[in-house]
Amino acid sequence: MVIPFGPQHPSLVEPIHMQLEVEGDTVLGVRPAFGFVHRGLEKLAEKRDWRQNVYLVERTCGICSFIHSLGYCLALEDLLGVEVPPRADLLRVMWGELHRIQSHYLWLGLLADAVGFESLFMQTWRNRERVLDLNELTAGNRIVVSMCRVGGTARDLDAEMLDRVEATLDAAESEFGPVEHTFREDGGIARRLVGLGRITREEALGLGAVGPVLRATGEASDSRLLGYAGYGRLQVAPVTQAGGDAYARLLVRLGEIRQSMALLRQVLPLLRQEPGETLVPVRKDPTAGEALSRVEQPRGELIYYVRATGGKLLDRVRIRTPTFANLPALVHMVPGNEIGQVPALVLSIDPCVSCTER
């Protein structure tokens, strides 16, 4: 028989809808259906000034909003031939990694809630508040910070502000230890996730998976290795696991929180040592041409393609989001599992329908 899963479900925070073909309690096949929150942002981007689009693309996804604006700005800077000041590149890394940490924290809390671990859910989201406080401290907003501009960043940070960022980071690191230990060592979490939704490295590559879903199969793929923004000056090593299952995807995200904190530790001394400008004014419109950028979102590789024909309006803005790339892998994972395992399995790819249905 065929039963619906979503778009409203107690364990889903995103309006995902799938038709599950089942026999007894076992899922035999999946037919995904999307479009419940489609907003037409790509078409709207063709009707707005290319400067206004910086704010528009941030609304593609609130949780990783800064990285969306970064991807768009990188593509426009390539099209315009603009060289971003080194200090602005470092600030972009800082805000990008803060968004990665809070996104993974949000996912960890949802996972804890899905497996019935309410106290761990509350602890994880309490820790996330500290990261959001850093966003507010440095940018004035907690979620959509609007700090990226074509040509650099909207704001600089003085020495006192950097000291406060480092002090908050010290506290965040110490608080993360007990949470990380629980996720890694609790037997209940392992029993729910080990072996769930296992795919091989070859299957993940063939299905076009990205981000933690791909790295959990042992593939060291990370767009930050391209060296965009300030990542070329930092030591970035992709966090990988070999299990290929939901538990391996959990371990990858735990490792990436540690990695993001380590990258912030590398960025702060560089910001103290290198004063300079943070924004190059851009007063011309892009000429005819096209450009593409690739950045690493918390969920995986994000691609922005822009095409201009001259003037203030762009001819095309195309966004390839990581959840869209991971959907074939999800459809491949679900068959063979029991109906009760589907919510945790869907959650394991960290889906963002807002991004997917931009």
State the chain's mean pLDDT as an integer: 90
Q: Please check whether residue 121 lies inside any domain of the structure.
A: yes
Contact 47, 313 (CB under 8 A): yes
Question: What pTM does this model have?
Answer: 0.93
Sign of CA dihedral 56, 62, 64, 65: positive
Whichever domain contains 44, its CATH number is 1.10.645.10
Q: Please check whether residue 9 lies inside any domain of the structure.
A: no
Q: Please check whether residue 177 lies inside any domain of the structure.
A: yes
Report pLDDT digits (tens) over 178-215: 999 999 998 889 998 999 989 999 999 999 999 999 99
Report pLDDT digits (tens) over 252-290: 999 999 999 999 999 999 999 988 899 998 888 898 899
Q: Please check whether residue 120 lies inside any domain of the structure.
A: yes
Query: What residue type is assigned to position 6 of the chain?
Result: G
Report pLDDT digits (tens) over 106-117: 999 989 988 888
Q: Which two tokens stand for residue 259?
A: 């990695």
Q: Which helix (DSSP H) or strand (DSSP E) does residue 5 occupy?
A: strand 2-5
DSSP string for residues in 81-149: TPPPPHHHHHHHHHHHHHHHHHHHHHHHHHHHHHTT-HHHHHHHHHHHHHHHHHHHHHHS-SS----EE
pLDDT of residue 44: 92
Report pLDDT digits (tens) over 11-42: 566 777 888 888 888 888 888 877 777 888 88
Number of domains in the chain: 1
Q: Please check whether residue 68 lies inside any domain of the structure.
A: yes
Distances (CA, A) of 3 to 17, 20, 22, 25, 106: 11, 5, 7, 11, 29
Q: Please check whether residue 77 lies inside any domain of the structure.
A: yes
Report pLDDT digits (tens) over 206-256: 999 999 999 999 999 999 999 999 999 999 999 999 999 999 999 999 999
Residues with Cβ < 8 Å from 271, sequence gap 6 or more?
87, 90, 91, 94, 157, 162
pLDDT of residue 33: 79
Q: Is 22 exposed, middle or buried (0-12, 13-18, 19+ CB in 10 A)?
A: middle
What is the extent of the structural domain holding 286?
37-328
pLDDT of residue 11: 59
Q: Please check whether residue 213 lies inside any domain of the structure.
A: yes
Calculate the CA 162 to chain-centre distance: 24
Helices (H) and strands (E) in the chain, counts: 13, 8
Contact 193, 250 (CB under 8 A): yes
Q: Please check whether residue 341 lies inside any domain of the structure.
A: no
